[in-house]
Amino acid sequence: MKAIIQRVTKASVTVGDELVSSIGPGLCVLLGISRDDTQKQVEYMVRKILNLRVFDEDGKGWDKNVMDKNLEVLCVSQFTLCYILKGNKPDFHQAMAAEQSQLLYNSFLEQMRDAYCSDRVKDGRFQAYMQVHIQNDGPITIPLESPVVVQDEKQAIKAAKAAAWQPKPKTKPVEDS
């Protein structure tokens, strides 16, 4: 899971001529969900985003998070963050399929709202062609990527063996004289 987190003075999402969501000061989060992401990545991202200290108070440095300041968060699903460049063309095969991704994205929103304040967390419209208007504050932009979580114990053992494997040195047999 990948996110681009921007501290904003305001941000909004429109679809066509319809204003879907808007926030005042806070964070705008563009979230990409890759095909191997699970609830573990969702939990990690929610915790990191809500606790990210990019706000200051009285010039004391960045010591406050969005919850400390009682600010808003605008979340926008952005599959294009899950790209691989093939020459100059982005390939999005690493992005999770839309139906699965929507379930995980909705889980992300629900956890954000449960962990913070439901009326302070807004979102765009999943799988819509959106216009995202961001007035970056600073500018402060933080890319965040969740760690890869191994799915089960068998995969963990296989990954550990692969990491520890080293080829055996080839030795010549000793000849008797």
Give me the catalytic one of 6, 78, 108, 111.
78
Residue type, 99: E
Please say if 155 is a catalytic residue: no
Give me the catalytic one of 38, 80, 127, 151.
80
Please say if 80 is a catalytic residue: yes
User: Could you give the C-alpha distances from 49 to 1, 45, 76, 125, 172, in angstroms and in order?
Assistant: 12, 6, 13, 20, 57
How far is 1 from 175, CA to CA, in rounded Å?
57
Give me the catalytic one of 6, 41, 55, 79.
79
Please say if 78 is a catalytic residue: yes
User: Could you give the C-alpha distances from 128 to 76, 133, 152, in angstroms and in order?
Assistant: 10, 15, 34
Please list the active-site residues: 78-80
